[in-house]
Amino acid sequence: MAGARVCVITGASSGIGEATARELASRGWTCVLLARRADRLEPLAKELGGEWETCDVGDRAKVDEVAARVLERHPAIGLLVNNAGIPGRGSFLEIEPERLELVTAVNYLGGVWCLRAFEPGLRVGVPSHVVNVASVAATVAFAPAGPYSASKHAQLAFSRSTAALLRGSGIHVHTVLPGFVETEGFPQRTKLRSPFLRRFVLEPEDVARAIVDAVEKNRLERTIPWFPYRLATIGQALFPRLFSSLVASKAGRHRDE
């Protein structure tokens, strides 16, 4: 990868963000780690020879403030990884309104604010890259996690839109759509009731490698693993009524359990 070798990673204190920082640092990148927990960021940045800033990406003013400090130190940014995300379990009729607003602010708007704030550095660092870590939930809606799915649908639309907007500018926008990933905030192996789906739970390191692969091979979108999630995506797109019926029956079972 040519261009600047400074990367900014949101949600970097654990899970996919931490794994991505480790993967990129091992490949010679200087990592600027952003997250809310200083106690987790500081030792990780020290270990990787990187930098850290506390930042709630759902707070636009805070993102602008942090970006200004980072760009003062590093005018050229080669990679922005919009990874920060929080769970949004529950239906639209049951979830607390405050949680719904927070899920939208972090999972969707956080990436928007970060791209706007770091865009000057990405233009200096061209060729440069933006990776939006979305989810298979961005393409398959499931009623018991509707708010989370909706936030990821919005994130996917944002990612695709900016990929088209920035085409030819030297800033390449990629989308990575993982299936279930076992992390601190998303303990999938204990939450999933389906033995079939538990077989496909990923580790954060799997997603980190997919992020690097998307950048190095300039892949627009990556769904991991391809099976069975890509099939579900295609199924909902081609047969929405049938898929909606299947999801409704699953949601009913979910409520009864």
For the chain, give every domain's residue range.
6-232
Task: Give the alpha-carbon dihedral of 206, 207, 208, 214, to 10 degrees.
Answer: 110
Cα 215 to chain center, whole Å?
14
**Set 148, 180, 186, 243: catalytic member:** 148
Q: Tokens for 212?
A: 């690097």
Question: From CA 51, how far away is CA 79, in angstroms rounded?
Answer: 15
Rounded Cα distance between 119 and 130, Å, is 10
Whether the predicted model's global pTM rises above the 0.85 cut: yes
**Do residues 250 and 197 make contact, with C-beta atoms less than 8 angstroms apart?**
no
In the three-class reduction of DSSP (H, G, I as helix; E, B as strand; rest coil), residue 80 is classed as strand
CATH level 2 (architecture), domain 6-232: 3-Layer(aba) Sandwich (3.40)
Which pLDDT tens digits describe the chain residue by residue (257 residues)? 456 799 999 999 999 999 999 999 999 999 999 999 999 999 999 999 999 999 999 999 999 999 999 999 999 999 999 999 999 888 999 999 999 999 999 999 999 999 999 999 999 999 999 999 999 999 987 777 899 999 999 999 999 999 999 999 999 999 999 988 877 766 665 665 666 566 668 899 999 999 999 999 999 999 998 887 777 777 777 777 766 666 655 544 444 33
- 137-63-53-81 Cα dihedral, nearest 10 degrees: 40
148 catalytic? Reply is yes
User: Distance between CA 20 and CA 176 in Å, rounded?
Assistant: 12
